[in-house]
Structure 1
């Protein structure tokens, strides 16, 4: 199985970017209040990124030491988690970045604050993406005898 390529991740990022940009435009046209990005959302994304990074580190150590420590079932589960998290991370990165871009040039009192929160959330989405890609790479098993 090959690692996720940049084309797939870029596609999800672009879908998120357009979707995040359209949310504010569509809700504004319908005269509905645009939901704000909260700091809780940012903290949850940062926590998910930390858990993925920790899992990537533990997986890498298990694979480098001996393959017996990491069963095939656990390796496959971690690989599926990594791939799903990478796709969602790319979508969130694009979505929050698109939401931030939609606030650029807005003549609103809260535009700067909402843009800042969306940009910080986009950075947290990027952290999820990077940690997921690290976990995916950690699941790779090299051929040959295990290291002693």
Structure 2
């Protein structure tokens, strides 16, 4: 599997933010108000980022020789989880940014201001989940094999 490109994640976040903004504006024009993020979501995203980093640290320790045994399937699953975390963080960041943009003109209303704050914090934490996924993908990168004479093998 290839590592996730930051440009792709940025495009995902921007696309979700744009689509979410349009959808939320449409819903609010019809009298439907979608609640913003809850603090429990922020905590859950933080715990997910910590779990991804913890799993990635095991793979990193193995590759450095600090941990003598690690199942190859576990390392592959860790990489897949890191990739999923990066995409999930980008999707969630776009969703929360869309909500912040919708309530931005109404910050003088206390309830809307609280929604903007909570959704803004959730967006930042979601970006942190994306970064955690990218970091763990880097942890799972296997160095290229060496030849018998100690030189790197060039792949074409």
Bin the TM-score by the shorter chain. 0.7 to 0.9
CA deviation after TM superposition for structure 1 residue 66, in Å: 6.7
The C-alpha deviation readout for 1:31-53, integer Å capped at 9, x for no partner, is: 11322321111111111111111
Unaligned runs of 5+ in 1: none
Change in Cα spacing, 1:23 to 1:114, as seen in structure 2 (3 Å) is farther
Relative contact order (C-alpha < 8 Å, sep 6+): which is higher? 1
Q: What TM-score results when the alignment is normalised by the length of structure 2? A: 0.83
CA distance in 1, matches of 2:112, 2:82: 34
Give the structure 2 partner of residue 13 of structure 1.
13
CA offset at residue 82 of structure 1? 0.9
CA RMSD of aligned residues (A): 2.0
Gaps of 5+ in 2: 147-156
TM-score by length of structure 1 reads 0.87
Question: How far apart, in 1, do the equivalents of 2:35 and 2:87 lie?
Answer: 23
In terms of mean alpha carbon deviation, does 128-137 or 30-39 score higher? 30-39
Question: Does the Cα contact within 8 Å between 2:100 and 2:116 map onto a contact in 1?
Answer: yes
Runs of 4+ in structure 1 deviating by more than 6 angstroms, as ranges, are: none
Aligned pairs (5 A) from 1:1-148: 1-65=1-65, 69-106=69-106, 108-144=109-145
Post-superposition Cα deviations, 1:51-104, rounded to whole Å, max 9, x if no partner, equal 111122222111211786222211211111111111111111121112112111
Deviation at 1:7, TM superposition (A): 2.3
Larger Rg: 2
C-alpha separation in 1, matches of 2:62 and 2:19: 39
